[in-house]
């Protein structure tokens, strides 16, 4: 695709205790036999798999042009046989929320550790032409929440972070409250605020001024009820190098993502040292 390769892998995850898929886009620069190419991780939203971004976002053209690789993991463990894992579209299968569950029933839902530890190691072993140590991260909706929280908790691991319509303050949003109550159990309010809420993390952040790009659409039906970007903007003042954009007429869909994806790839490529 655009001179590069889309490669889909399956591996047995030690963190999650099941088989997991992830998709790579390896740009043509990686096949030229020169220096290793940097990596951008993309975290998808509720109900998605590793394939939604790969098929719908149109990210490969700009990634090929700028010489960056794309890594798209799945959104949750699958097929664990946990009672109720397939009962809701916004909890369980397809809705791992990029946290490490502490509720005994959901103890295998360890997407935070999978994304931050296991997946980079698997990518490094699978694709040695990629420079996994030179990485950025982005995501959409639940995946935007994941990208922001993971970057804020691990600022030394990522050169930049971006998000499309992220769940910015999930302790104050129905999606987040449902996920945290189920995965973290009793006392979830304080645990979630300390570890998995981007707005709360930004309030306490004292690391380097991480570059952040955030896009939201004025016609996003979830903007005021689930996303709360203004809370994150306020918390990030003076702490993060945040560029927050409100896109007139755009909604929560991949139409918005595919429209602005080139901006996000170029943003990350610049900070990864890959932009021309």
Catalytic one of 44, 162, 220, 271: 220
88 is catalytic: no
Catalytic-role residue among 44, 136, 141, 160: 141
Q: Which of 252, 264, 268, 271 is catalytic?
A: 252
CA distance 30 to 10: 21
Q: Are 2 and 60 in contact (CB under 8 A)?
A: yes
Nearest to 141 by CA among 260, 77, 48: 48
Q: Does residue 252 have an active-site annotation?
A: yes
- Residue positions annotated with a catalytic role: 141, 220, 252
């Amino acid at each position: 695709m655009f001179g590069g390769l889309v490669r889909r892998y399956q591996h047995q995850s030690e963190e999650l205790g099941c088989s997991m898929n992830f998709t790579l886009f390896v740009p043509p620069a990686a096949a030229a036999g020169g220096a290793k190419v940097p990596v951008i991780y993309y975290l998808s939203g509720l109900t998605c798999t590793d394939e939604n971004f790969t098929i719908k976002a149109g990210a490969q053209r700009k990634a090929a042009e700028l010489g960056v690789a794309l890594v798209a993991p799945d959104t949750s463990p699958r097929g664990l046989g946990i009672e109720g894992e397939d009962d809701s579209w916004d909890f369980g299968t397809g809705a791992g929320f990029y946290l490490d569950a502490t509720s005994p029933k959901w103890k295998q839902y360890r997407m935070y550790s999978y994304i931050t530890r296991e997946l980079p190691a698997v990518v490094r072993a699978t694709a040695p032409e990629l420079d996994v140590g030179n990485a950025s991260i982005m995501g959409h909706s639940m995946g935007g929440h994941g990208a922001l929280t993971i970057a804020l908790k691990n600022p030394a691991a990522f050169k930049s972070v971006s998000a499309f319509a992220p769940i910015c303050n999930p302790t104050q949003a129905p999606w987040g409250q449902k996920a945290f109550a189920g995965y973290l159990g009793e006392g979830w309010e304080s645990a979630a605020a300390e570890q998995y809420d981007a707005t709360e993390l930004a309030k306490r952040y004292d690391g380097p001024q991480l570059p952040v790009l955030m896009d939201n659409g004025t016609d996003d039906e979830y903007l005021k009820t689930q996303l709360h970007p203004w809370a994150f903007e306020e918390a990030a003042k003076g702490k993060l190098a945040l560029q927050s954009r409100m896109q007139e007429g755009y909604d929560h869909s991949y139409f918005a993502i595919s429209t602005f994806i080139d901006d996000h790839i170029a943003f990350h490529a610049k900070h990864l040292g890959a932009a021309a």
